[in-house]
Amino acid sequence: MKLGNLEIQRKACLAPMAGTADRAFRELCRGYGAAFCVSEMVSSKGISFNSKKSAELMMISPDERPCGVQIFGDDPKVMADAAKFAMQFEPEFIDINMGCPAPKISGNGCGSALMKNPPLCGEIVNAVVNAVEIPVTVKIRKGWDENSVNAVEVAKICEEAGASAITVHGRTREQFYQPPADWTIIRQVKQAVNIPVIGNGDVTNAEEASKMMEETGCDMIMIGRGALGNPWIFREINAYFDTDKLIFPPGPAEKISVMLKHIQKLVEYKGEYIGMREARKHVAWYIKGFKGAAEFRNMAGKLTTFDELIELSKLIYKAQTKE
Ligand SMILES: Cc1cc2nc3c(=O)[nH]c(=O)nc-3n(C[C@H](O)[C@H](O)[C@H](O)COP(=O)(O)O)c2cc1C
């Protein structure tokens, strides 16, 4: 698939996930073969105030490239300025968030609320496309609610305004993340536009990835929750597409060792205090399905230092190897 002049080698990319798909996790997923990454969403207003938090969110390591910076907002001028500002972090593309359902975002007319105003979607894409020299992509949902399903209309408007690709998450804003994603809307968008379409929603393994591509005709798939505690999903998907064969997921020893590497990076980037608090949920995801997972999850919820995690990892490993 091509994003502007950028040749994308693989079929599955990592979804933007605020508070979760940070630099440490994105690097890991790229290492396992994710086609590209997208930053956590960054507020265009925050960027305009030159906030330190926004700058941190836009930092990209060499190991995670190609990587896009995702911005959200509802003012075309502010969004265009934010995209220009983001260029100092040298992203390979800018992604515009038209899907976030969180009340604090959509309640302010941003994220998924933009889909209620298709002409504004076009104005924003147009402004951002004119502001930067790199490709601009857009991430949309099926629509605001079942009575206003308009992904096809919004996708066409974004294409017209100069977007280089569209990601479609097959749920309405009202559905947040719960009911099964509707892949038919992804197919409808794919049939309606000429730019690449990235399908998103509920892909958690290689067979589902292949099924989404077959059923929707999409050019790529985007994986969100299916990668949490499971970054090797990209290796599995790539192997399946390359050889038609399913490969086994790693055993407990490899999973624990990857988890430690991941959390070590997290601590390196964010410091031990924040890093270890954020690590708690990742540990819980990595040990899903392990013997004694419930008890270990409780213990993970109290982690405060990396040394404690090393000790906990030994206990977890021992429990998996016990008869
Ligand atoms: C914790 C979390 C944070 C998310 N943050 C973002 C975000 O910052 N920007 C965005 O466009 N989507 C965000 N999403 C939505 C995902 O990118 C994706 O569209 C959604 O999870 C559906 O894909 P999945 O079924 O593969 O998880 C987030 C999802 C989760 C679970």
**Ligand 1 nearest-atom number relative to CA 227:** 26
Whole-number Å distance, alpha carbon 237 to ligand 1 midpoint, is 19
Whole-number Å distance, alpha carbon 244 to ligand 1 midpoint, is 28
**pLDDT for the residue 322:** 82
Decide whether any atom of ligand 1 lies within 6 Å of the 137 Cβ: no
How far are the Cα atoms of 154, 252, 264, 295 from residue 315, in angstroms, in the given order? 51, 12, 18, 11
Going by the DSSP 8-state scheme, the letter that residue 140 receives in this structure is: E
CA distance 113 to 106: 5
**pLDDT for the residue 284:** 98
Nearest to 250, CA basis, from 23, 92, 32: 32
Whole-number Å distance, alpha carbon 128 to ligand 1 midpoint, is 22
**pLDDT for the residue 256:** 98
Outline where the chain has alpha helix (H). 23-31, 44-48, 52-58, 76-86, 103-106, 118-131, 151-160, 184-192, 206-216, 233-243, 252-286, 293-300, 306-321
CA distance 155 to 168: 9
Decide whether any atom of ligand 1 lies within 6 Å of the 43 Cβ: no
> For residue 178, how many other CB atoms are within 10 A of its CB?
7
The owner of tokens 């999850």 is: 297
The CA angle 116-140-128, to the nearest 5 degrees, is: 90
Tokens of 112: 């998924």
Decide whether any atom of ligand 1 lies within 6 Å of the 177 Cβ: yes
Residue nearest to atom 1 of ligand 1 (CA): 17
Whole-number Å distance, alpha carbon 15 to ligand 1 midpoint, is 6
**Ligand 1 nearest-atom number relative to CA 40:** 8
Decide whether any atom of ligand 1 lies within 6 Å of the 200 Cβ: yes
Whole-number Å distance, alpha carbon 17 to ligand 1 midpoint, is 5
Q: Print pLDDT tens along the chain (323 aa).
A: 999 899 999 999 999 999 999 999 999 999 999 999 999 999 999 999 988 999 999 999 999 999 999 999 999 999 999 999 999 999 999 999 999 999 999 999 999 999 999 999 999 999 999 999 999 999 999 999 999 999 999 999 999 999 999 999 999 999 999 999 999 999 999 999 999 999 999 999 999 999 999 999 999 999 999 999 999 999 999 999 999 999 999 999 999 999 999 999 999 999 999 999 999 999 999 999 999 999 999 999 999 999 999 999 999 999 999 87
Q: What is the pTM of this model?
A: 0.98
**Ligand 1 nearest-atom number relative to CA 111:** 11
Pocket test for ligand 1, best of 57, 169, 172, 282 (most atoms within 8 A of CB): 169
Domains and CATH numbers, the chain: 2-243 (3.20.20.70), 252-321 (1.10.1200)
Annotated active-site residue in 100, 121, 158, 218: 100
Cα 244 → chain centroid:
25
**pLDDT for the residue 184:** 98
- Does the annotation mark 29 as catalytic? no
Tell me phi and psi for residue 116, to 5 degrees. Answer: -80, -10
**pLDDT for the residue 277:** 98
Nearest to 198, CA basis, from 214, 174, 216, 220: 220
**pLDDT for the residue 233:** 98
**pLDDT for the residue 30:** 98
